[in-house]
Homo-oligomer: A and B are copies of this chain.
Amino acid sequence: MTDTIISSATREVVIGFDRPFVMIGERINPTGRKILAAEMAAGDFSRVEADARAQVAAGAHMLDVNAGIPLADEPAILAKSVQLVQSVTDVPLSIDSSIVAALAAGLAVYKGKALVNSVTGEDERLESVLPLVKKYGAAVVAISNDETGISEDPDVRFEVAKKIVHRAADHGIPASDVVVDPLVMPIGAINKACVQVTHLLRRLRNELKVNTTCGASNISFGLPAREGITAAFLISAMGAGMTSAIMNPLHTEIVRAIMGADVMMGHDPDCMRWIRRFRETPPAQGPAGAAPGEGAARGRREGGHRRRVS
Chain A, 231-249, contact with B by CB distance < 8 Å: what is the 0/1 string?
Answer: 1110110011000000011
Q: Of B51, B274, B285, which one neighbours A289 at CB under 8 angstroms? A: B51
Minimum CB distance partner of A267 in chain B: B191
Q: Which residues of B contact A257 (CB under 8 A)?
A: 228, 231-232, 235
Q: Which residues of B contact A198 (CB under 8 A)?
A: 239
A50-B289, A263-B229, A286-B250 as given contacts; A223 in contact with B271, CB under 8 Å: yes
Q: Which applies to chain A's interface (DSSP): helix, strand, loop or mixed?
A: helix
A252-B297, A296-B227, A297-B297 as given contacts; A195 in contact with B266, CB under 8 Å: yes
Whether B292 lies near A58 (C-beta < 8 A) is yes
A102 adjacent to chain B (CB < 8 Å) = no
Interface residues contributed by chain A, number (CB under 8 Å): 79
Near B by CB (< 8 A), chain A positions 257-310 give 257, 259-261, 263-266, 268-271, 274-275, 278-281, 283-286, 288-297, 300-302, 304
Interface centre among A192, A224, A286 (most CB of B within 10 A): A224
A54-B292, A257-B232 as given contacts; A286 in contact with B251, CB under 8 Å: yes
Whether A293 lies near B289 (C-beta < 8 A) is no
A43 adjacent to chain B (CB < 8 Å) = no
Whether B284 lies near A220 (C-beta < 8 A) is yes
Task: Give, as a whole number of angstroms, the nearest-CB distance from A287 to chain B.
Answer: 10
Q: Of B54, B233, B240, B292, which one neighbours A304 at CB under 8 angstroms? A: B292
Minimum CB distance partner of A217 in chain B: B285
Starting from the known contacts A224-B274, A293-B301, 8 additional A-B residue pairs (CB-CB under 8 Å) come to A27-B288, A47-B289, A195-B265, A224-B281, A225-B274, A236-B261, A236-B265, A248-B285
